[in-house]
Amino acid sequence: MSLDIGTGDGRLPYTLARQAPGRLYVGLDANAAGLRELSGRAFRAGLANVVYIRAAVEDLPLPLSGLADSVTIVLPWGSLLATVALPAVSLLRGIRALCQPGATFTIVLGIDPDRDRSEVRRLGLTPLVQRDPVRHLSAGYRAAGFALTAARQLRPQELALWPSTWARRLARRHSRFLCQLEATATADR
Q: What is the pLDDT of residues 17-39, one digit of tens each?
A: 999 999 999 999 999 998 999 89
Right CATH for 2-185 from 3.40.630.10, 3.40.50.150, 3.90.1010.10, 1.10.150.20: 3.40.50.150
Asked if 88 and 82 count as a contact pair (C-beta separation under 8 A), the reply is: yes
Could you give the CA distance from residue 180 to residue 45 in angstroms, rounded to a whole number? 32
pLDDT of residue 74: 96
Whole-angstrom Cα distance, residue 148 to residue 181?
7
Segment 166-177, tens digit of pLDDT = 888 888 876 778
Residue 49 is predicted with a pLDDT of: 97
pLDDT-derived band at 64 (thresholds 50, 70, 90) equals very high
User: In whole numbers, what is the pLDDT of the chain averaged over residues?
Assistant: 90
Q: Is 39 exposed, middle or buried (0-12, 13-18, 19+ CB in 10 A)?
A: buried
Domain boundaries along the sequence of the chain: 2-185
